[in-house]
Structure 1
Amino acid sequence: MATFSYMLLLSVTLDIFQTVILGKSGVVTNVTCSLKSNIIRWDWTPSFPVCSETMGTNIKIFDVAKGKVALKRFIHRLKLTENYTLQIRHPISSDSGLFTCVSHNGETSKTKIQIEPGCMNNVLLEKHSTSHSLTLKCSLCKTTPIYELDRFEWKLNNTPVTNIKGVTVSKNGDILEIQSTQKASPGKWICIFSPNTLWFAEYCMDEDKEDKEIDTGNRINGLQVLQIVGIVLLAIILILAVIVIAFLYNKFTVRKGETYQVTKDDNAEIAMIPSDASRTDPMLEAPSELNYMTIMFSENQATTVALGSPNVYASLKVK
């Protein structure tokens, strides 16, 4: 029963457990596949559907058989390397999501990718969270004498953020602050370098995640909680299985050299019949010799009888 429960729980938790990888914007991220059988495709479920402008789950992004990218947003940015590892080039915040490799027999291996702010298109985006606000700051990765001042502008889903309540922007536009009391609109927040609009960086917030963006540094995400709970349950089942096995082993293993304490107020006579005695054993139905050993003790005496043979038949006659 314990083994069955263990296997059942294991089959469930294997689908829950996922590898979590934190990537950086602009830095190549490798997604490994733990399956050993032939892989037919890679799927993707976006963490930020609004920001990525991609709705749905388990969207095919790479066809292994054809060796081609299957989703437009990843064109020229995905490459399959050895052991079916998926390489993401120039990753951005909206690439975050659940990446799943699928084998020909339906087995899956899931990896959660979270792309954190970094340097992308020569714009470095940094995030700072406190208990009361979320601050996004932009600067150039590499300064150039061509542009004397760092001037930035912010957009939310391609709309200027100037009139969004609870959102403040610094004078030169490099710092944007979202107050915790304001439920900011979900979507893609873009920081654009005004003198050269080809230099920009993005930050994603989704409707279900925006409130969690504030002061999340010391929180454990839901995936980690599932992993911890699963590991604890597996450990408990393994411990119970070991206890049951040990109990059954001790119960059915014959002990040698046991000592029995016999106490009786009246005189008694104990007849010991070893297993090699000559008789017809009703259990084994095999004849053997009878050799009796009688131990007498008087009133209020206690006698210790050592049984050296593993199989002993005893009869007690009280006088």
Structure 2
Amino acid sequence: MPNDRRQAALGNTVSIRCSVNTRILQWEWKPKFPLCASDSARVITVMGPKGFIPPLHFRNRLRHSISSKNLELRGTLIGDSGIYTCVAENGKKWITDLQVQEGCFNNINLTIIKKEPFEATLYCKLCSPITSEESSFIWTVNDIPLEQLLGNQRMRTGAILSVPLRNKSLLGAWRCKSTANPAWYAEHCLELESPDYKPEEDMKYGEENDPEAGPKPAPINLFQLILMALGALALFSLVILCLCFFCKGAQDRYEKTQADIAEVRLDETQLPAGDSSQQDPSPIRRTPSEKEGGGVHYVELEQFPPARQILKSPSLGRPSTIYATVV
């Protein structure tokens, strides 16, 4: 759809916008009624590299404002209807669909009161009649007087005309002028709309369109979105798994260290405590001495060497002291 839609009554002034941020390089016009546009081209360049050159159809009614980037169209006619496109320096486009409606213009209203597959009836009347008498009009088709097109037929000056649509010479811009005042006139396009005039098909409403020549990114479908989501989920799961392995290894190392420390402490608590009473007395050597009175010698035997000691049994306790008879 177009970016902008404008409706203008016949004979009024309308502004055609171009809402782009950069400099305008080109203006194009795709007329809704090519015969009324008097141009065989389907797309007419209004402004291009050579500057602003409006078609002859507008007859100095179309002006370009450099400061506002807009077009100003005065004295609108039915044949001015169509698609106006401005192309910016960055390739962006702004599209306006202009529809000029029937109305009272220069005190004359020209309408189609009946249209069949092969015939149309035109009705031309004064908007404010100055007299009660029936008005007469001069009819032209594409600026050619009707009597010239009809040849030897009599001149048609009535307000109502029936036009056969099979006659291609009678298709185009019909205009009726008042015989009382030639400045009063109205126009209507009597032709089928251009077969390729379909602004609804390839235009978007409310935003600038990308340039046609530039490459367009391929749209992302639902399958691609699902694949992207699964890939992101797999990557996230892999990161979580690595973190779990790292934490589990650190915990195992910590528990093993604590177990080793506890085992060492347990071994230390099970060892027998040192007791001087349980230890064998150190071997004492004494030199035999004689005491007074009796000449009896008391000799304390030295402890047996380790090889001759009696083995101790844990159940027997401490061995008794061994004495020997002194001779």
Q: TM-score, normalised by structure 2?
A: 0.53
Letter in 1 for 2:179: S
| Alignment correspondent of 2:129 | 143
Instruction: Determine the structure 2 residue equivalent to 1:58.
Output: 44
**Which residue of the partner structure matches residue 23 of structure 1?**
8
- Whether the 8 Å CA contact 1:69–1:75 is kept in 2: the answer is no
* Residue aligned with 2:188, SS: strand
Q: Distance in 1 between matches of 2:89 and 2:96?
A: 18
Give, in angstroms, the shift of residue 48 of structure 1: 3.9
Does residue 78 in structure 1 map to residue 60 in structure 2?
A: no
The correspondence for 2:77, drawn from 92, 110, 123, is: 92
Structure 1 stretch 156-165 or stretch 122-131: which is displaced more? 156-165
Is 1:160 aligned to residue 136 of structure 2?
A: no
For 1:43 and 1:150, the matched residues in 2 are separated by 40
Q: Deviations over 1:169-223 (max 9, x none)?
A: 9x97222233566666332211121222221111224xxxx3459xxxxxx9622
Show the counterpart of 2:270: none
Q: How far apart, CA to CA, are the structure 2 residues paired with 1:225 and 1:135?
A: 32
Greater strand share, 1 or 2? 1
Q: In 2 relative to 1, CA 115–62 (structure 1 residues): closer, same or farther, beyond 3 Å?
A: farther
Report the secondary structure of 1:121's partner residue: coil
Work out the CA distance in 2 between the residues paired with 1:98 and 1:17.
8
| Corresponding residue SS for 2:199 | helix
Helix, strand or coil: the match of 1:223?
coil
Aligned residues: 230
What SS is found at the alignment partner of 1:51?
Answer: helix
Which residue matches 1:308?
none
1:138 and 1:47 map into 2 onto residues whose CA distance is 22
> Is 1:125 paired with 2:110?
yes
Matched, 1:187 2:167: no
Gaps of 5+ in 2: 205-217, 254-327
How far 1:90 sits from its partner (Å)? 0.9
- Counterpart contact for 1:61–1:74, Cα < 8 Å: no
Distance 1:159 1:52 in 2: 18
CA distance in 2, matches of 1:180, 1:71: 27
For the residue of structure 2 that corresponds to 1:245, the secondary structure is helix
- Please tell me whether residue 249 in structure 1 is matched to residue 229 in structure 2: yes
Deviation at 1:37, TM superposition (A): 0.8
Query: C-alpha separation between the residues in 2 aligned to 1:62 and 1:274?
Result: 63
CA 1:252/1:115 → structure 2, altered by over 3 Å: closer, same or farther? same
SS of aligned partner of 2:170: coil
Residue pairs, 1:98-113, within 5 angstroms: 98-113=83-98
One of 199, 224, 230 as aligned partner of 1:223? 199
Amino acid at match of 1:32: R
**8 Å CA contact 2:24, 2:88 repeated in 1:** yes
Greater shift in the superposed pair: 16-25 or 116-125: 16-25
Cα distance change on mapping 1:173 and 1:82 into 2, 3 Å: farther
Taking only aligned residues, the RMSD between alpha carbons, in angstroms, comes to: 4.7
Residues 122 and 161, structure 2, Cα contact 8 Å, conserved in 1: yes
SS at structure 2 position matched to 1:90? coil
Residue ranges of structure 1 left out of the alignment (5+ in a row) = 1-15, 214-219, 229-236, 257-272, 281-285, 291-319
* Alignment-mate amino acid for residue 97 of structure 1: G
Distance (whole Å) between structure 2 residues aligned to residue 274 and residue 19 of structure 1: 57
Change (3 A) 1:142 1:152: same
Once the two structures are superposed, what CA deviation does each residue of 1:227-272 show, in whole Å capped at 9, x if it has no partner? 59xxxxxxxx86x63553245324642699xxxxxxxxxxxxxxxx
Change (3 A) 1:46 1:122: same
The structure that has the greater radius of gyration is: 2
